[in-house]
Amino acid sequence: MKSILKKTAICLLVFSMIITSGLAAPKKEVHAAQGTYGGRIWKSWVKLRKSKSKKSKVIRKISKGEPVQVHYTSGKWRKVTYKGKTGFVLKKYVYINTNAPELSGSQEEKGQTVAAFA
């Protein structure tokens, strides 16, 4: 009975190690192609933080509609600059301006416009 329990415990330990190492996907960072993107805050106000954590120091608060420069996105956070201060804001509160062209005309013309924008 003890040997079965030991084997079960060892199997569970190995299994948990495999699962935790396999599920931890690497964090991806998406950087702006040309330095920064223009963005705007769309929540009533957000906290600009020193690092990518809700527990990190708040540098300042940013009001809704304020423009920010977005450097990159990493996980749930965007690195932004606002009035000379650089920090992190939850990405769900930062709208990125794409300056996408308005589509009009035939399907072919729309396709060409999308291809040119891409």
Domain range list for the chain: 37-96
Which pLDDT score, from 0 to 100, does residue 96 have?
84
C-alpha distance from residue 117 to each of 32, 33, 63, 95, 99 (Å): 16, 14, 31, 19, 9
Fold that domain 37-96 belongs to in CATH: SH3 type barrels. (2.30.30)
- Give, for 117, the enclosing helix (H) or strand (E): helix 107-117
77 near 52, Cβ under 8 Å?
yes
Which pLDDT score, from 0 to 100, does residue 50 have?
96
Residue-wise pLDDT for 78-110, tens only, equals 999 999 999 999 999 998 876 666 667 777 776
C-alpha distance from residue 20 to each of 12, 74, 82 (Å): 12, 21, 37
> Please, what is the Cα angle at 23 between 3 and 12, to 5 degrees?
5
